[in-house]
Amino acid sequence: MTREELIGQLSAVVGEDHVLQRAEEMAPHLTDWRGRYHGAARCLVRPASTEEVAGVVRVCAAAGVPMVPKGGNTSLCGAGIPDLSGNAVMISLSRLNRIRAIDRANNTITVEAGCLLKTVQDAAFEAGRYFPLSLAAEGSCQIGGNLSTNAGGVRVLRYGNIREFTLGLEAVLPNGEVWDGLRGLRKDNTGYDLKQLFIGAEGTLGIITAAVLKLFPQPRAIATAWLAIESPSVAVQLLGELQSAFGTALTACELVSELSLNLVFKHIEGAQPPLSASPWYLLVELSAPDGESELNAGLERFLETAFDNGTVSDAVIAQNIEQTHKLWALRENISEAEKKEGISIKHDISLPISRLAEFVDAADVALTAAFPGVRIVAFGHVGDGNLHYNQSMPDKAANAEFIPRQPEVNRLVYDLVTRFGGSISAEHGIGQLKRRELATYRSAVEINMMRTIKQALDPNGIMNPGKVL
Say whether both 213 and 228 belong to one domain.
no
Domain that holds residue 350: 342-445
Position 2 pLDDT exceeds 90: no
Give the model's pLDDT for residue 240: 97
Q: Which of 142, 131, 29, 132 shows the shortest CA–CA distance to 94?
A: 142
- Provide CB contacts within 8 A for 197, sequence distance 6+: 205, 453, 457
Last residue in a domain, options 181, 197, 217 = 217
| DSSP letters spanning 259-294 | HHHHHHHHHSTT---SSS--SEEEEEEEEESS-HHH
Position 94 pLDDT exceeds 90: yes
How far apart are the C-alpha atoms of 117 and 94, rounded to whole Å?
12
Residue 465 counted as domain residue: no
Check if the beta carbon of residue 104 is closer than 8 Å to that of residue 121.
Answer: no
Single-letter code of the amino acid located at 437: E
| Average confidence (pLDDT) over 105-124 | 98
**DSSP-based three-state secondary structure for 315:** strand
How far apart are the C-alpha atoms of 327 and 224, rounded to whole Å?
8
Single-letter code of the amino acid located at 141: C
| Average confidence (pLDDT) over 411-418 | 97
According to the per-residue pLDDT averaged within each range, which of 31-35, 286-290, 455-459 is highest?
Answer: 455-459
Give the model's pLDDT for residue 34: 81
Query: Residue 302: phi, psi to the nearest 5?
Result: -60, -45
Is residue 400 very low, low, confident or very high in pLDDT (cuts 50, 70, 90)? very high
Residue 250 counted as domain residue: yes
Q: What is the pLDDT of residues 255-308, one digit of tens each?
A: 999 999 999 999 999 999 999 999 999 999 999 988 888 999 999 999 999 999
pTM to 2 decimal places: 0.92
Distances, alpha carbon 423 to alpha carbons 231, 428, 445, in Å = 22, 12, 17
Say whether both 257 and 283 belong to one domain.
yes
Please report, for the domain that includes residue 144, its CATH number. 3.30.465.10
Say whether both 213 and 103 belong to one domain.
yes
Percent of the residues in the chain that have a pLDDT greater than 90, as a whole number: 94
Position 350 pLDDT exceeds 90: yes
Residue 466 counted as domain residue: no
Please report, for the domain that includes residue 18, its CATH number. 3.30.43.10
- Provide CB contacts within 8 A for 241, sequence distance 6+: 302, 306, 311
Q: What is the sign of the dihedral through the CA atoms of 441, 446, 450 and 452?
A: positive
Residue 458 counted as domain residue: no
Check if the beta carbon of residue 66 is closer than 8 Å to that of residue 465.
Answer: yes
Single-letter code of the amino acid located at 20: L
Position 3 pLDDT exceeds 90: no
Check if the beta carbon of residue 181 is closer than 8 Å to that of residue 197.
Answer: no
| Average confidence (pLDDT) over 57-63 | 97
| DSSP letters spanning 2-55 | -HHHHHHHHHHHH-GGGEE-SHHHHGGGSB-TTS--B---SEEE---SHHHHHH
Say whether both 229 and 321 belong to one domain.
yes
Check if the beta carbon of residue 361 is closer than 8 Å to that of residue 230.
Answer: no
Percent of the residues in the chain that have a pLDDT greater than 70, as a whole number: 100
Give the model's pLDDT for residue 153: 87
Last residue in a domain, options 217, 242, 263 = 217
Give the model's pLDDT for residue 76: 83
Position 391 pLDDT exceeds 90: yes
Cβ neighbours, 10 Å, residue 46: 21
Position 205 pLDDT exceeds 90: yes
How far apart are the C-alpha atoms of 157 and 117, rounded to whole Å?
19
| DSSP letters spanning 142-208 | BHHHHHHTT---TTHHHH--GGGGEEEEEEE-TTS-EEEE----S---SS--THHHHTTSTTSS-EE
- Burial classification of residue 453, based on how many CB atoms lie within 10 Å of its CB (0-12 exposed, 13-18 middle, 19 or more buried): middle
Distances, alpha carbon 4 to alpha carbons 9, 10, 30, 452, 453, in Å = 9, 10, 21, 35, 33
Strand partners, 45: 19, 91
How far apart are the C-alpha atoms of 275 and 330, rounded to whole Å?
12
Give the model's pLDDT for residue 200: 96
Residue 127 counted as domain residue: yes
Say whether both 68 and 114 belong to one domain.
no
Residue 461 counted as domain residue: no
Position 1 pLDDT exceeds 90: no
Q: What is the pLDDT of residues 134-175, one digit of tens each?
A: 988 899 999 999 999 999 988 999 999 999 999 999 999 999
Give the model's pLDDT for residue 64: 96
**Structural domains of the chain, count:** 4
